[in-house]
Amino acid sequence: MFPSSIKHRPPKAWHKISIQLDSRMLEAAAACLAGLTDTGLEITSSENGLPETAQHCRTERITAYIPFSPAGSGGNADQEKIAAIRQFLAGITLFFPDCPKPSLSIETLLEEDWGEQWKKFFKTFQVTPLLTIKPSWEAAEKQERGAEDHRLVIEMDPGLAFGTGHHPSTQLALLLLEELFQAGAKKNPRVLDVGTGSGILAMACGLYGAAEVLAIDNDPDAIETARQNIIRNRLQNIVTVNGADLHTLTPGFDIVVANITHDILAELAKPLTRLLHQDGFFVLSGILKEDQEYSINEIYVKLGLTLLKRRTKDEWAALILQKK
């Protein structure tokens, strides 16, 4: 049996930041929120909520989460980030004078509510041509599969970690990994998953045919969540998860996958390249298409990598690069 949520430290709370705005502002606002929150963003289309003058404009809602800093905790990082978001929204209208002003709403979300929200949102779904994601609390589907049906299933509970397969950056990383394994570029590869979160990418690599996967994260909640998911899917003989320091790892990985933010990918470019085996592959995701995509590509190409493939979904991009 596995607990439905992690309870090895006091409950947390988050500020749920929701911004509704004209779609022409989306890329700039998404970049701002991604940089301030260091988390995935939920983006949904919306038809209502802006002034009547904008009824015929396509609108979007961006949702992000900022950890709550309680009074007396010795810090006010959350309020500084919220103030930065307000300042950004006040200034963005200067660059988009034809768009209505964005609307901002903020609410506090307790950890217990977080888990219940995910259970309402997270249902079994097919994330790639070969891979289906099933939440641990949902009953298994009883259906007959044909002999030609070779879909793989990951059963998981995201707990307090990022990574259910719903976010475009996770979907792009899974799809590129699937294509890389199907192409057979590396037989029984050794894989490193940097910033594993719920462990979804590491487990997918284990199912796709990796001989060994090391999943690392600096968040104790993510490590515990990933470990439980790995055991739940009987992949503990292939996938190992821990909080190892990137700089202490021994080089020789055939594939390095990282679904994190642009700034961290840029900062870790040299140590990650050091860990990648000659002719090995990077799968990099968590970056916005165009500006951030071009920036990451330029940084890694200067280190001797070659861009092999790119995929985009919504405003997100993911890349496969090879070390030559």
pLDDT tens digits, residue range 29-69? 888 888 787 666 778 775 544 444 444 567 888 988 888 87
Same domain, yes or no, for 78 and 170? no
Count other C-beta atoms under 10 Å from residue 185's C-beta: 17
- Does any domain span residue 294? yes
What's the CA gap between 56 and 232, in Å, rounded? 48
What's the CA gap between 314 and 307, in Å, rounded? 21
Which of 116, 144, 161 lies at the terminal end of a domain, its last residue?
116
- Does any domain span residue 4? no
Under DSSP, the state recorded for 245 is -
Same domain, yes or no, for 100 and 164? no
The CATH number of whichever domain residue 173 belongs to comes to 3.40.50.150
**CB neighbour class for 28 (10 Å; exposed up to 12, middle 13-18, buried from 19):** middle
Same domain, yes or no, for 197 and 173? yes
- Does any domain span residue 269? yes
Predicted pLDDT of residue 9 = 40
Predicted pLDDT of residue 5 = 33
pTM above 0.75, yes or no: no
Segment 307-318 shows an average pLDDT of 93
What's the CA gap between 291 and 273, in Å, rounded? 22
Same domain, yes or no, for 111 and 133? no
* Overall number of domains in the chain: 2
Contact 96, 89 (CB under 8 A): no
Q: Are strands 131-135 and 103-110 parallel, antiparallel or unpaired?
A: unpaired
- Does any domain span residue 7? no
Whether the per-residue pLDDT at 145 is higher than 50: the answer is no
Same domain, yes or no, for 299 and 253? yes
Write down the mean pLDDT value for the chain: 84
DSSP, collapsed to helix, strand or coil, labels residue 202 as helix
pLDDT tens-digit profile of 171-215?
Answer: 999 999 999 999 987 889 999 999 998 899 999 999 999 999 999
pLDDT tens-digit profile of 98-137?
Answer: 889 999 999 887 765 555 666 666 788 899 999 999 988 7
b/e 30-57 (16+ beta carbons within 10 angstroms → b)? bbbbbebbbbbbbbeeeeeebeeebeeb
Same domain, yes or no, for 85 and 190? no
The CATH number of whichever domain residue 28 belongs to comes to 3.30.70.120
- Percent of the chain residues topping a pLDDT of 90: 51
* Segments forming the whole domain that contains residue 36: 13-116
Predicted pLDDT of residue 52 = 44
- Does any domain span residue 64? yes
- Does any domain span residue 102? yes
What's the CA gap between 95 and 154, in Å, rounded? 44
Segment 67-85 shows an average pLDDT of 77
Which of 80, 101, 116 lies at the terminal end of a domain, its last residue?
116
Contact 286, 265 (CB under 8 A): yes
Band (150; pLDDT cuts 50, 70, 90)? low
Which of 98, 116, 134 lies at the terminal end of a domain, its last residue?
116
DSSP, collapsed to helix, strand or coil, labels residue 308 as strand
Whether the per-residue pLDDT at 141 is higher than 50: the answer is no
